[in-house]
Amino acid sequence: MMRPHKAYPVELAQFHSADYVEFLHRINPDTQHLFANELSKYNLGEDCPVFENLFEFCQIYAGGTIDAARRLNHQLCDIAINWAGGLHHAKKCEASGFCYINDLVLGILELLKYHSRVLYIDIDVHHGDGVEEAFYFTDRVMTVSFHKYGDLFFPGTGDVKEIGEREGKFYAINVPLKDGIDDGSFTRLFRTIISKVVEMYRPGVIVLQCGADSLAGDRLGCFNLSIDGHAECVRFVKKFNLPLLVTGGGGYTKENVARCWTVETGVLLDTELPNEIPDNEYIKYFSPDHLLRIPNGHMENLNTKSYLSTIKTQVLENLRFIQHAPGVQMQEVPPDFYIPDFDEDGQNPDERMNRHTQDKQIQRDDEYYEGDNDNDHDMDDA
């Protein structure tokens, strides 16, 4: 476990427009009535409400995904998890679907500094439109989204015919599904498509968005997936033994979201968890059975075998057009960090520091430092 840094505005602006980041920084519930035009421009309002500490919220979850990517880049871990991340709808200049900053895009941009090709996989019930749009014209990122499509379901994109453009043509893969898909249908399709994608694309690293609104019983979702079915996708991706960044995403039946990501943390750690939830201060949320896993749903599965076969055939046919391991021109690796200057001597000792300022001065025991802050600098003398 590690506490990530809060992403700086300049880091957020690596993808988002500077004016949008600046507006998120200064808007708050008390002043939003003064900015009606800007709220409309940046799509803040009904689906993306302004709330207290909105910008800090964005900094925290985005910082988690950015730091996860950096740790993978420097081989400090094989798998990095940020369950607070996965806000895949946010666009360059606007919020969307309760996503304000697209941490996934920022994490992928970080990974691209060290990896020629990044594979992004999305199993949220909603189409990963923000991530797809960000990389729609490049072959360095392949986006693969399994999602509900049709019936005006949000965000309304994600047809199998949306495949990317220009250099990115055939590097966007969409698997549009209908209501009620079950574990067997979903996992068979997932394994077939992802196996072929990894074989053809040969990514150096994988980003997996595990939105839990694809579970049965979700308040906004419409699938029949059990937690074990959902987790099987995580288990399958892990078997490729590639560096893996895992995030959360949607999920609107909160007790099932907690169950799902707990089970999937166990999968990623090769740890089998008992089905009985131990006593804890939140146990009342898991009444009456206090069990970790939930069964399949009972909605009618509208995904016929012929429909799923057609989708699979179209996707595999498109994969035939991509080049094996697209070439990438070598260039200087951009720096990892942007750390604003911090003048400790210039601080007023009579002023109380906020938590964020204190956190920036913490030196973690499990990190590596150069110079006098190196915890291991005396080891050579031992």
Catalytic residue among 5, 89, 126, 127: 89
Q: What is the DSSP string of 253-287?
A: SHHHHHHHHHHHHHHHTT-PPPSBPPP-TTGGGGT
Q: Which helix (H) or strand (E) holds 245?
A: strand 244-247
- Of the candidates 13, 125, 119, 134, the one whose C-alpha atom is nearest the C-alpha of residue 62 is 13
Read off the tokens for 161: 């015919």
Contacts for 354 with CB less than 8 Å, ≥ 6 apart? none
Locate 268 and state its tokens. Answer: 């990623």
d(CA 375, CA 262): 33
Which residues touch 381 (CB under 8 Å, ≥6 apart)? none
Q: Catalytic annotation on 290?
A: no
Residue 205 has which token pair? 């690293």
Amino acid (1-letter code) at residue 192 = T
- Distance (Å, rounded) from C-alpha 141 to C-alpha 129? 14
Q: Is 185 in contact with 157 (CB distance < 8 Å)? A: no
Most distant CA pair in the chain, distance: 72
DSSP state of 291: B
Pair of tokens at residue 344: 């400790």
The three-class DSSP label of residue 209 is strand
Cross-strand pairs, 141? 118
Q: Any residues with CB less than 8 A from the CB of 183 and at least 6 apart, and which?
A: 224, 225, 226, 228, 229, 232, 296
What residues does 282 pair with on adjacent strands? none
Q: With contact defined as beta carbons under 8 Å apart, do 253 and 165 qualify?
A: no
Q: Residue length, the chain? A: 382
CA geometry: angle at 210 spanning 326 and 25, to 5°? 90
Tell me which residues are annotated as active site: 89
